[in-house]
Structure 1
């Protein structure tokens, strides 16, 4: 058990609910949702005893916010490019071929302690945690939280669609329009993708296009399903490629998360992070 933050109640004129008091008096609990989760996990103590949502505070009470995380899991020693890192968060360039997380050993999450420095802040996580996911075969930028508060605030920003992600893909076929908007539900849920066509060309008698994809919503396999829907599946997509095929040499899924744009919740600055086109994309485009 590690103490994150502690506060003695003072200057109350009347008994006050814990949920109303903690949000304005604790530095590392910033949302009602985070507070409720901390109470449920027995991370909030009143006079060294677990609190509840029904707790009322009086002057003199001691409120403690503790970390109850388990020890770090066994580390997967996979070298990953770190694109950005500070005490609160990091952005890595996830390689294709590994799941983001899950009940496996060889995951990106288990490799994070091997690649990132542990935060020295009071609410540091025992090990860093991705705050969103990329498919196993998708490569590119992945946002990671290093503290409890960062995890809460970044997760909330994703839920509120305040973090912008942009992808590159090579797909089958050419396009007559430069910009396409797809509004096609996925599993009965609204889903929207904006497509910008960067280049369309014939490679050995077959049309392919390089696209920029901006998912406005975040449904599972949204980009892959939307491109299948308009009959332009992504090259190398074994699940949604259908009858489209090519004899040209290629490797894996040609989908990359190349840009992340977000408001840093602690530095209070807009961060826009980009990475270059992957080598396998350029090699395929340059085929004669």
Structure 2
């Protein structure tokens, strides 16, 4: 049984447990992980089961008890390209067709331990992704290798200190650059875009190579924003235009770069990857000046 306890200071502004509890337990450092722990009744407040609605007012004893995991020798053998790795974190290349995490066995999260070196730091943990990419999206994924790194990286994303750049192939004629600020699922959302190259297409009118910089992280934000603009991403079966959906080639959306300051070394990391081959088949070799550089 894994056990952690936390004593709430007496002078605390009343706050829900689902907000206060983020980051207080090594085993469940993120908001989503905390909600799962509460749902599984792993957390008690003054000896009583806690919930997302439990109010914290000061002086409470919050206790986490996680039952032992069922022993299993089953490991996911799924080779991943490691783009950067140190004792704290790693960046890997996510191919299309694998989910980042979830209840299934074949997840990128389950593949991480077999692809990364175990951290030698005192708070070493099972490597864990700290953000999401859709099933069909390719590109760079960031993972933490220690409890403190997972918490610090989540904080970077919450504070919008991670610069994400995506590349997509969009259909139809579109403006050279702009901002899309249409709300997504009732929440504010902002995407900056610019067209890097375009080619004519008999079926789609134009195919555009578009650089995308999301300033918020809503679910399916890029796909919904571009579809709402009238320029859906090529291969998008969910948000594409009827009669103009390319089938059998996958989604033309690629997480091309991540830029952030390493939370422990202070080094400016700017990790980039080449465009997938299916992009280059449409546009040919793309100039580095268009995609930026790897200088940190």
Using the TM superposition, give the Cα deviation of residue 161 of structure 1 relative to its aligned residue in structure 2, in angstroms. Answer: 1.1
Measured against aligned partners, the alpha-carbon deviations of 1:15-55 in whole angstroms (never above 9, x if no partner) come to xx9667xxxxxxxxxx9842367799899xxxxxxxxx738
Residue 34 of structure 1 is matched in structure 2 by 23
Using the TM superposition, give the Cα deviation of residue 250 of structure 1 relative to its aligned residue in structure 2, in angstroms. Answer: 6.3
Shift of the 170–113 alpha-carbon distance from structure 1 to 2, 3 Å rule, reads: same
Give the 5 Å matches for 1:1-288: 33-35=22-24, 54=59, 70=69, 74-125=74-125, 127-175=126-174, 177-204=175-202, 206-245=205-244, 251-286=249-284
Give the TM-score normalised by structure 1: 0.75
Task: Say which SS state the counterpart of residue 207 (structure 2) adopts.
Answer: strand
CA distance in 2, matches of 1:216, 1:114: 33
Shift of the 72–190 alpha-carbon distance from structure 1 to 2, 3 Å rule, reads: farther
CA contact (8 A) 2:235 2:245 kept: no
After TM superposition, which residue ranges in structure 1, 4 or more long, deviate above 4 angstroms? 1-4, 17-20, 36-43, 66-73
Using the TM superposition, give the Cα deviation of residue 222 of structure 1 relative to its aligned residue in structure 2, in angstroms. Answer: 0.1
CA distance in 2, matches of 1:209, 1:281: 10
C-alpha RMSD of matched pairs (Å): 3.2
Of stretches 158-167 and 68-77 in structure 1, the one that deviates more from structure 2 is 68-77
CA distance in 2, matches of 1:213, 1:120: 37
CA distance in 1, matches of 2:8, 2:275: 47
Using the TM superposition, give the Cα deviation of residue 223 of structure 1 relative to its aligned residue in structure 2, in angstroms. Answer: 0.1
Bigger Rg, structure 1 or 2: 1
Aligned residues: 245
Give the TM-score normalised by structure 2: 0.73
